[in-house]
Structure 1
Amino acid sequence: MPPEPFRPALLLVDIQEDFCPPDGALAVPDGRAVIPIANALLQLPFALKLASKDHHPPAHISFASRHPGASPFVSSTTIANPANPAETYTTRLWPDHCVAGTRGNALVPALDAARVDRVVLKGTDARVEAYSAFGPPLRDPPLVEAESALGASRVEGVCGGGGRAMRGGAEGWAGAVEEMERAGVRVVRMDGEEVGWVRALDG
């Protein structure tokens, strides 16, 4: 039996062109393989259906092109909190990707995006990196705000950008799962009981 109250939310993480082959700037192998799964879940009666997007300005701090002599995937930089310069963290540098207004920024066309209730944008501040839909290290999490406002009791996620979309790649998928679980998100299987509970809401 599902827990009470049971108002499940679905989160689709960064299912964008730049995270998908054949020509995405940060393509994840088999990145498009999640699309049929995402579309099947979008047809279920989740109380809230969210999609996150990397949505960077052209001169985003995570782009190696912004740092002279830096190399994507290899170099890193230290980021300071704009409101408190003493608070810092280190991030890896990437190729330019998911720039606002570009094809790579778009949700993949095969995704049934018409069923998504809200798109949560992240990485919009050129000064701050934001791997996670739950908010960058130095900012309030926009996804948590959306969940709270709409009364979701639990969140189940599908990740299109691989571990790097949620966690920056350093810890990979295990780190992404740990972060999601801390935020109250459960990683579930299509044939698992949690998805069965959602299907039963139609009954």
Structure 2
Amino acid sequence: MALAKPDIKRTALIVVDVQEDFCPPSGSLAVSGGRDIAPAINELLSLPFALKIATKDWHPSDHVSFDTSHRSPDIKPFVSKITIHNPDDVSESLEIPIWPVHCVQGTKGAEIISELDVSKLDHIVEKGRDKRVEMFSAFSTCFGTKSNAASHDLASLLRQANITNVFLTGLAGDFCVRSTAMDANKEKFKVYIIHEAVRSIDSSEAGWGVVQGEMVGKGIDIISIRGPEMSGFWTVQD
């Protein structure tokens, strides 16, 4: 059976959180090799996707996930977890990890890295703006709600442009890329992860390997930038 290629006129490229605080050498929550994916993403940005979107963590300085937002000396980034409640339904709660302060609104750490050609982007979605809730996914909060926690309703942006196929890149694969991909899948978009343009906090088989298996199990495809699913883009470009 011939491989079904996506209709380029209905494709979107989403670049997830490629920001200074997520990249070496000085990012407060740097992902190993985070800057290394910039050339691949720029190559993708040069291709004829119908819509090109970047996302940014855009936190208030007192965000609930920050270690500095908690007085207890036992709260430690990367180690501790806390329970938060849904602001819209206090009976609903979740446990979230605690992180160092990162991607605070208006700071250098929240900027998209200078290596990326942001002139090619159609939109930038700022997420995680509500200090009370975590927001890994660019579609919704950790409680699945859509509110002022993001600057745009990403699903609506995609549907208004008649997008059916979403190609994801960025940081970190095992957190915000994963959550954005899973929510895009729930929203009934066909989702592809371009593996050369993703880096993870835990790049091991026990980390990113498990996450990839989870996504594939939901019908999300892990592909190569030069794989058959991308052949139509390169043909148009050439």
**TM-score, structure 1 length as denominator?**
0.89
Equivalent in 165, 168, 175 of residue 211 of structure 2: 175
2:137 matches 1:146: no
Deviation at 1:166, TM superposition (A): 3.2
Equivalent in 7, 10, 14 of residue 7 of structure 1: 10
- The 5 Å alignment of 1:151-162 reads 151-162=162-173
Cα RMSD between the aligned structures?
A: 2.5
Counterpart residue number, 2:26: 23
8 Å Cα contact 1:157/1:186 also seen in 2? no
Q: Which runs of 5+ in 1 are unaligned?
A: none
Equivalent in 121, 124, 136 of residue 126 of structure 2: 121
Counterpart residue number, 1:98: 103
Q: Which runs of 5+ in 2 are unaligned?
A: 180-200
8 Å Cα contact 1:155/1:185 also seen in 2? no
Report the Cα distance in structure 2 between the residues aligned to 1:111 and 1:4, rounded to whole angstroms: 26
Q: Which amino acid aligns with 1:109?
A: S
Report the Cα distance in structure 1 between the residues aligned to 2:141 and 2:212, rounded to whole angstroms: 14
Deviation at 1:177, TM superposition (A): 7.2
Alignment: residue pair count: 202
Equivalent in 119, 133, 136 of residue 138 of structure 2: 133
Q: Which amino acid aligns with 1:17?
A: E
2:51 matches 1:45: no
Larger RCO, structures 1/2 (Cα 8 Å, 6+ apart): 1
Counterpart residue number, 1:194: 229
8 Å Cα contact 1:166/1:176 also seen in 2? no
Q: Deviations over 1:10-40 (max 9, x none)?
A: 0111100000000100001111111000000
8 Å Cα contact 1:52/1:121 also seen in 2? yes
What secondary structure sits across from 2:95 in the alignment? strand
**TM-score, structure 2 length as denominator?**
0.76
Of residues 133-142 and 22-31 in structure 1, the stretch that sits farther from structure 2 once superposed is 133-142
Report the Cα distance in structure 2 between the residues aligned to 1:105 and 1:87, rounded to whole angstroms: 30
Identity within the alignment, %: 39
8 Å Cα contact 1:8/1:198 also seen in 2? no
Counterpart residue number, 1:55: 58
Counterpart residue number, 1:164: 175
Report the Cα distance in structure 1 between the residues aligned to 2:216 and 2:170, rounded to whole angstroms: 11
What secondary structure sits across from 1:187 in the alignment? strand
Report the Cα distance in structure 1 between the residues aligned to 2:57 and 2:39, rounded to whole angstroms: 21
Report the Cα distance in structure 1 between the residues aligned to 2:161 and 2:217, rounded to whole angstroms: 20
Change (3 A) 1:147 1:80: same
Deviation at 1:186, TM superposition (A): 4.2
Change (3 A) 1:38 1:118: same
